[in-house]
Amino acid sequence: QVQLVESGGGLVQAGDSLRLSCGVSGRPFSNYAMGWFRQAPGKERQFVAAISRGSGSTVYADSVKGRFTISRDNAKNTVYLQMNSLKPEDTAVYYCAADLYWSTPRSTVKEYDYWGQGTQVTVSS
């Protein structure tokens, strides 16, 4: 069984930064491509960023490109999402997800096998 636990969310002002972390346990972390998604109230879960197993490849949603950075530390079994220049529209519950099948980063919900519980990010204007 694979477990993912997010942390680092909170309430910040527009323009501030946050770093989200997601710890993974249960199987060798380096076997997974990892992704971050977010879900605002009343909206579908949407892709934010993803990283390949070996950190060689990343992809981002257009809405966060240039502001967010995904990274991973395979020695610590952790994936990060550095969020800079936050905007009120970034407010959502942020989820990390693990993909056991694809080695390259994927951007759709259905391609991920395991999910964390989520961490709330609220950006005030």
Closest of 88, 82, 84, 85 to residue 122, by C-alpha: 88
Between residues 16 and 2, the one the model is more confident about: 16
Residue 54 has a pLDDT of 82
Averaged confidence pLDDT in the chain: 95
- Average pLDDT over every residue of 42-70: 95
Cα of 5 vs its chain's centroid, Å: 11
Question: For position 5, what pLDDT does the model report?
Answer: 97
Asked whether the predicted pLDDT for residue 70 surpasses 90, the reply is: yes
pLDDT above 80: residue 55: no
pLDDT digits (tens, 9 = 90+) for 73-109: 999 999 999 999 999 999 999 999 999 888 889 999 9
